Structures are given as C-alpha cells and as structure tokens.
Structure 1
Amino acid sequence: MDIDVFYGMCGENHKRLETIEHLFRDCEVSARIWAGLDLGIRVENAKSLNMTDWIIDWVRYLLSREGGVKRVIMFIAILWGLWIVRNKIKFEGLAMNSRVISGLLFESINEKVRTLSDQVDGENLKKCLKGGSGEHIEQKKSEIRDGHPLQMIGNQEQCNVIRVEVDAGWERTYAAAFRWVAYDGTGQECMRRQVRTRAESALQAEALGVRDVLLWAASGGFLHLDISSDCLQLINEIAGVDKEDHLIAGILEEMRGLSSYFHCLCFKFIPRHFNGVAHGLARQALKL
C-alpha cells in the first residue's frame, strides 16, 4: 500500500513512493533498528511477505517466547516509533541526520513501552491472539443448508449484510491469485479486490482470499458479513466438519481471531456456477 510521494527515512537512497513495507521493514534505517535489538528480528528475507502477514507471524512468535508479552510490547512500540519519526521528517522538517533520527526514535519507543506496559493486560493479549474473547464462540453454530455446511456467528436478522464471493486460482509453480467481489444490502457491487500471491496449495490460496475479506471488512467497520466460497474443503474445515489441513491451520486461527470483530458472520459453500464472477476474475488474475 502506498502512503504518498515521500522518500522515507533513508531520503535520497529511496526514490520511490513510500510504502508501509518500506517504512516499517525494508528501509535501511528500519532494518538497522530491528537488527540492533534483542528481539531476534531480521528483515533481509522478508520482502516477499505482505506487511500484515509479517506482523502477525512475528507477534505470534514473540508471544510464544519467554517474556513474550514484553517482547510484543517492544515490537509494537518500534512500529509506533518509526511512524512518529516518519511524520516528524515529512511534516515538521526533522533533519535527515542518523543521530537525530535514532535519538527521537528511541525516545518514542521508550515512551510507548511505558504507556503500553501500564495498559496492556497480558492474559487478554494472549487470548485475543488465540482467537478472541470467547463471546462469539458461544454464538457460533454449524448446520447443513441446501446439502452443504454453513457456519454462522451471531444473527443476521435485520442486518445490512455485506455479501462477498471469493475464489482463487493456483498453479503447481506455487503461483496463486485470489479475487473477491463484495455486494451491499441492495445487491450493488461495493468493492472488488484482486491479489497475486504465492501459496503451497489451492486450498491455502482459497483460505488467503477469505482471510483478506475479513481483514478488509474489519478495517472498514463492516460488522455483518456473508462470505461464499466454491471451495467445499475450506468451508468444511471452517465449520469443523473436516480435520484442519496443516497448510491452513495458522490462517484458520487468524480467521477465528478476526471473527470477534463482527456482529454476525456467515461462511458458506456456493457451487462454482453460482460463483462465476469471482472465479473468472481469479483465473484472469493468475494469468497476468
């Protein structure tokens, strides 16, 4: 995602549009910051990962280590500090001087660590990362409708539900693409997205597509969501009918965590001939 026409903290060495990935991870200044701390984070081989996956993977890993909550707080504080310094350079004319930048950065990091340490409840943090507070789990139900599994969280009655159709394409070279189309309560298309990526299986590509829909809806404040996929295996695993495939176990865990954002959420299977728009667009995206 582009931020704007801004060269970033490495100034003349980065003559391109600033991106989230460059600012927080790939910039040479950011890379030195990560390498200089004891979190064990290296960025050299991470450029193929989008920022969301990179952050989620590191938060889960750091939380699994001894003193994990403190490590996660430090991780978040570094991201915060990089953002603060970036804005100081762009909007306040902060000098592009490595000593000045480093001083302000660590001052911002330390301030954020103190704030988060006072506010963050370690047990709640762990619970959220493992799948939410449990409130929506109690409202979850799986059923068979029209001969196919369906999982419902919450109640869709009297809701302005956003309906989304998802599909993905995959090749044995691990090239993959997913595409989804969203419709509002009146049936009008309100959003579509196409992403080329890499995946270890067709099932994983489908799961990445569904997760992308959840991230979009959560960030946009859409609380009522109906997701259709023509991948029966994926819907079976979401509904708990089939055993989880190890290639998508982590993605399913993230999806369970994201489900806590929604008032109602439905996952259902749709035959491919009813999913023609998303299917055609996904195949087209894979050929680009």
Structure 2
Amino acid sequence: MCSVVCVELEHCNLETVEHLFRDCDSSARIWAGSVLGIRVEGAEHLNMTDWVIDWVQYLRKQEGGLKRVILFIAIIWGLWIIRNKVKFQGLANNPQVLVGVLFDSIKERVHILNNQVDNKGSLKEPRGSVGDQLYQQKTDLRNGTPYHMIGQPGLCSALRIKVDASWEHSFKAAFGWVAYDELGRECMRSQVTTRAESALHAEALGVRDVVSWARSGGVLHLAISSDCLLLISAIADLTKTDHLIKDILEEIRSLASFFHCLSFSFVPRHLNSVAHGLARQAIRL
C-alpha cells in the first residue's frame, strides 16, 4: 500500500467515481502498491463500470482468481470508507492514520467476503435479513437494562454515539448527539430542532437521525446509547411499541441492514450529560 493519502480525498470539488476510486494520485498509488499491482495509467477513457468489469474478468482467470477478485473489491470498499471518514466524520488527514484505517477496512471486507464464499467458489448473496447466519438480531439484559444488537461484531471498533432529546408540551423538540472514536475521543456532535408529538417521539427522531447520518457516512459498526429506557425497550420489541414511533423504528431497522453491526443500549442520564446538554441548548434557541 502507498505511504501517503493525498488531500484530494478531502478537498476535490469535482470528485467523480473515476477520480475517487482510480484516477486520484493516491488511489493510483494504492492500486500499484497492492499485491495486485494494478496500474491505472491509460485508463482515463474507461468509465468506472467498464474498468471494474474488465479487471474482475481478468483477475478471475488467474491462479487464486476468486481471492484476487475479493481483494480488488475490498480495496474499492476501503477507498470509499476512507473518503467518508474524512469527509463526514472529521478523520484527521494524516497519512499514517488514513492508511491504518484503509488497512483495517480492506482486511475486514476481505474477511466478510471470504465468509460468503460457498464450497463451489461462488459468492453468496447476503440476505441482510433477520435469521441470516451473517445477520442476526440479539436482545439481552446487561446490568438489568435492555441491550439490542443487530448483526455481528467485526474486526474494527464501533463508532460510539450517545443521543438525547428534549420536548415541550407546545410540541417543540430538539435532540443532540455526540460521537466518539475507538479511543474515546469526541469526533462529531450535532444539534437539531424539530417538532414531536411526545418526548418518546423526539427520542426516536434523535436515534433515527444518528442511524441516517452514520449510514450516509459509510459507518459499518455503530453503537448507540440513549438514556430513554422506554425507547431502547421498544427497539428490542416492536410488538410493544407506541404507535407514534412504530414507523420510525421500522425505518431504523430497515437502515440497520446496511451495517455490519448496530447496537442500542441504555445509559443513565448522568452518563449522557453531553448529549443531554446539546438537546437542552437546542430547544432554547
């Protein structure tokens, strides 16, 4: 892999699929430095779809072709993850940090794709549904409080986000959330004002916002904490859900299929003070 990831991943105003995954100088060095040894020079006339198809067909014909195709797909995935972490999560544009994240993303994607290879050497289609061996739901009690997990823990640490909401009887509402990286450092925070029918409704809107943001940013492992015990219980059991939030929770569960692992847990208010303060501040605006 290359030793430098250029700032184009963060600042290119004319970013195209071809530029991001192939034509950027940094992407080109990553392809050339990988064990695949792919050179992108002279490919400018090919759109990304044709370029990918050509390489997949070529790599499949080589010895160990399926594993080489998996690595090819994993590098594309890694470039996408890096771009989203820099652009949406404020990941420091430090070459050592970015290359480390890239390695982790590629390793994780190779592991997942290899697990989807059946005995005949073809890729299974991931169903992403409840009960699938690669996508399971689990509900249990931790320290006497609900804990709900969708998917399976992966090789990478989860992005941890604490969320809270505030509501007034005038139906004015607000929610705030704060994200922490694997080292426990704050990397993102948000405040949103809105309208809600109840305090529980506002809490559900806050969780949906977190899941939507993480999905758009390419986050794969996400751990969400809320001090609303009723909401975490409802996420774990839709049959006992307030009708005001049932549609929101079903939307959250639909978005959950895009994550490798998504967990929801309850935390006491005193451990959620930052998100609580953001929500209270926003509702006063």
Residue of structure 2 aligned with 1:229, choices 212, 226, 229:
226
Whole-Å Cα distance in 1 between the matches of residues 202 and 190 of structure 2? Answer: 14
Deviations 1:78-112 (A, max 9, x none): xxxxxxxxxxxxxxxxxxxxxxxxxxxxxxxxxxx
The TM-score, its normalising length taken from structure 2, stands at 0.53
Matched, 1:167 2:164: yes
- Contact (CA 8 Å) 2:135, 2:152: kept in 1 or not? no
SS of the residue corresponding to residue 248 of structure 1 reads helix
Aligned twin of 1:251: 248
Letter in 2 for 1:200: E
Matched, 1:147 2:144: yes
Matched, 1:211 2:208: yes
- The CA RMSD measured in Å over matched residues stands at 1.9
Shift of 1:136: 8.0
Deviations 1:104-129 (A, max 9, x none): xxxxxxxxxxxxxxxxxxxxxxxxxx
SS of the residue corresponding to residue 149 of structure 1 reads strand
Q: Cα 1:224–1:204, aligned 2, differ >3 Å: closer, same or farther? A: same
Deviations 1:228-270 (A, max 9, x none): 0000000000011870100001101100100000001110000
Aligned twin of 1:262: 259
After superposition, residues 56-71 of structure 1 pair within 5 angstroms as none
Identity %: 62
Aligned twin of 1:49: none
Whole-Å Cα distance in 2 between the matches of residues 156 and 184 of structure 1? Answer: 16
SS of the residue corresponding to residue 240 of structure 2 reads coil
After superposition, residues 51-130 of structure 1 pair within 5 angstroms as none
Matched, 1:272 2:269: yes
After superposition, residues 7-86 of structure 1 pair within 5 angstroms as none
Q: Cα 1:156–1:259, aligned 2, differ >3 Å: closer, same or farther? A: same
Q: Cα 1:241–1:146, aligned 2, differ >3 Å: closer, same or farther? A: farther
- Contact (CA 8 Å) 1:148, 1:269: kept in 2 or not? yes
- Contact (CA 8 Å) 1:233, 1:242: kept in 2 or not? no
Residue of structure 1 aligned with 2:175, choices 170, 174, 178:
178
Q: Cα 1:230–1:183, aligned 2, differ >3 Å: closer, same or farther? A: same
Letter in 2 for 1:180: W
Whole-Å Cα distance in 1 between the matches of residues 152 and 188 of structure 2? Answer: 23
Letter in 1 for 2:203: E
Structure 1: where are the runs of 5+ without partners?
Answer: 1-130
SS of the residue corresponding to residue 247 of structure 1 reads helix
Shift of 1:277: 0.4
- Contact (CA 8 Å) 2:128, 2:135: kept in 1 or not? no
Shift of 1:151: 0.4
The TM-score, its normalising length taken from structure 1, stands at 0.52
- Contact (CA 8 Å) 2:147, 2:266: kept in 1 or not? yes
Deviations 1:202-243 (A, max 9, x none): 001000000000100010000000000000000000011870
Deviations 1:166-203 (A, max 9, x none): 00000000000000000111111111110000000000
SS of the residue corresponding to residue 143 of structure 1 reads strand
After superposition, residues 124-139 of structure 1 pair within 5 angstroms as 133-134=129-130, 135=132, 139=136
- Contact (CA 8 Å) 1:238, 1:252: kept in 2 or not? yes
SS of the residue corresponding to residue 190 of structure 1 reads strand
Shift of 1:154: 2.1
Aligned twin of 2:284: 287
Aligned twin of 1:32: none
Q: How many residues align?
A: 158
Shift of 1:137: 9.2
Residue of structure 1 aligned with 2:185, choices 179, 183, 188:
188
